């Protein structure tokens, strides 16, 4: 019986290790979504549907389709110059940029 319990414990532990990267991505995407809602939703549509309040502000779901999202974290961390007159210049903390990028990936079809 002792060997059986050890095998079960090892299986559970290895299952947790396999699940951890996915869980970390999900947590990062959740933080990115919260960031988008707090800082971007005033103008942009940040979800998978709907329109933003500012017509010139691209919905995040189209950004996720039009740009190489994997490269976007670097761009966000380096700083974004205005894309339209109402868009502020900004630079994100690298962790926020990674989280926002993880969220944008969830919006791709």
User: What number of other Cβ atoms are within 10 A of residue 44's Cβ?
Assistant: 23
Nearest to 109 by CA among 74, 69, 76: 69
Average pLDDT per consecutive 10 residues, the chain (109 residues; last block may be shorter): 47 49 85 95 91 88 84 83 75 93 91
User: What number of other Cβ atoms are within 10 A of residue 21's Cβ?
Assistant: 9
Q: Pick 22-106's CATH classification: 1.10.760, 1.20.120, 3.90.550, 3.40.390.
A: 1.10.760
Q: Is the pTM of this model over 0.75?
A: no
Alpha-carbon distance values, 21 to 39, 41, 46, 78 (Å)? 27, 28, 24, 26
- How high is the pLDDT of residue 88? 82
- How high is the pLDDT of residue 5? 47
- How high is the pLDDT of residue 20? 64
């Amino acid at each position: 019986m002792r060997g059986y319990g050890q095998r079960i414990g090892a299986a559970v532990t290895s299952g947790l290790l396999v699940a951890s990267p996915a869980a970390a991505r999900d947590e990062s995407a959740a933080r990115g979504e919260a960031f988008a809602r707090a800082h971007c939703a005033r103008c942009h549509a940040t979800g998978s549907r709907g329109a933003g309040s500012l017509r010139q502000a691209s919905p995040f779901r189209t950004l996720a389709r039009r740009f190489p999202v994997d490269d976007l974290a670097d761009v966000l961390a380096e700083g974004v110059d205005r894309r339209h007159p109402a868009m502020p210049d900004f630079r994100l903390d690298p962790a926020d940029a990674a989280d926002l990028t993880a969220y944008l990936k969830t919006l791709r079809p």
